[in-house]
Amino acid sequence: MEKSNTDQWEERFIAYYRSQAQLTDGSHDLGHFQRVWRMAREIDRQEGAAADELVLLASAYFHDLVALPKNHPDRGNASRLSADRAVRLLKEQWNDFPPGKLEGVRHAIHAHSYSAGVAPVTAEAKILQDADRMEAVGAIGLARVFYTAGRVNGLLFDADDPLAEGREPDDRRYALDHFQLQLLRLPAMMNTATGRRMAEERAEYLREFMKRICLEIRGE
């Protein structure tokens, strides 16, 4: 079967990462980009396939070109920096990438980040934001929370009050607090009906994990 134009571009993007890019953050590696693209394509399909596939593909593969640690003072600017770098890369690395799609890629990447505070206004930006946020819920989201906490020397949880029932949640100190402060809020923040439904299913897994870890903390 002949490959589509989008599949051919995806092969080129993957080849670039494997031959030229140095990815050192396990939560923002090639696997992350591939999963975000697969999720974005599925959300788009279920939402009626209104998005530009090439804009969505490029945005998914290059949305985290600048990945700063959670505690970095410039974290809020990471998506803008990624957007600018992605556009430069697409221009310099592939002179046949359609120039008319570059601004769509720029906006989708800039708007995807929770910390950027930029409202997504295109179909591609809304879908990319949902697809990327899907990585934060469910089993993969659980793994990434504790991986990220380890990178910044955070603690797993407050052993005396793991669910922050008698204190203010602090996800800069405790990884488990991040569930309440952000992850479990994500389903309601999704842009698409498909995203909300899928995120809620994954969030239920996180709730069950929280119940289980509390049982184990108590020795039950």
CATH code for the domain in which residue 60 is found: 1.10.3210.50
Q: Residue holding tokens 């890369």?
A: 89
Same domain, 170 and 109: no
**DSSP character for 2?**
P
Same domain, 103 and 202: no
Same domain, 24 and 120: yes
What pLDDT was estimated at residue 1? 45
Contact 105, 169 (CB under 8 A): no
Same domain, 159 and 108: no
Same domain, 86 and 116: yes
What pLDDT was estimated at residue 29? 84
What pLDDT was estimated at residue 41? 97
| Alpha-carbon gap, residue 163 to 45, rounded angstroms | 37
| Alpha-carbon gap, residue 218 to 36, rounded angstroms | 37
> For residue 148, what are the domain limits?
136-220
Same domain, 3 and 100: yes
Same domain, 82 and 122: yes
| Alpha-carbon gap, residue 21 to 18, rounded angstroms | 6
| Alpha-carbon gap, residue 177 to 185, rounded angstroms | 12
- Does 71 score more than 80 pLDDT? no
Q: Which of 103, 129, 155 finishes a domain?
A: 129
- Does 184 score more than 80 pLDDT? yes
- Does 25 score more than 50 pLDDT? yes
pLDDT in tens, 142-167: 999 998 888 888 899 999 999 999 99
Same domain, 31 and 118: yes
The residue count of the chain comes to 220
Tell me how far CA of residue 196 lies from CA of 16, 188, 193, in angstroms. Answer: 33, 6, 5
Average the pLDDT over 67-85 and give the result. 72
Tell me the average pLDDT of the chain: 89
Same domain, 153 and 108: no
Q: Which of 129, 147, 173 finishes a domain?
A: 129
Same domain, 125 and 142: no
Same domain, 125 and 146: no
- Does 220 score more than 60 pLDDT? yes
- Find the helix or strand (DSSP H, E) in which 111 lies: helix 102-112
Contact 155, 149 (CB under 8 A): yes
For the chain, state the CA radius of gyration.
Answer: 18
Tokens of 74: 């410039």
Total domains in the chain come to: 2
Long-range contact pairs involving 43-49 (C-beta distance under 8 Å, separation at least 24): 43/127, 43/130, 43/131, 43/192, 43/194, 43/195, 43/198, 44/123, 44/127, 46/194, 47/123, 47/127, 47/192, 47/193, 47/194
Q: Which of 102, 129, 156 finishes a domain?
A: 129
Same domain, 148 and 124: no
Percent residues over pLDDT 90 in the chain: 72
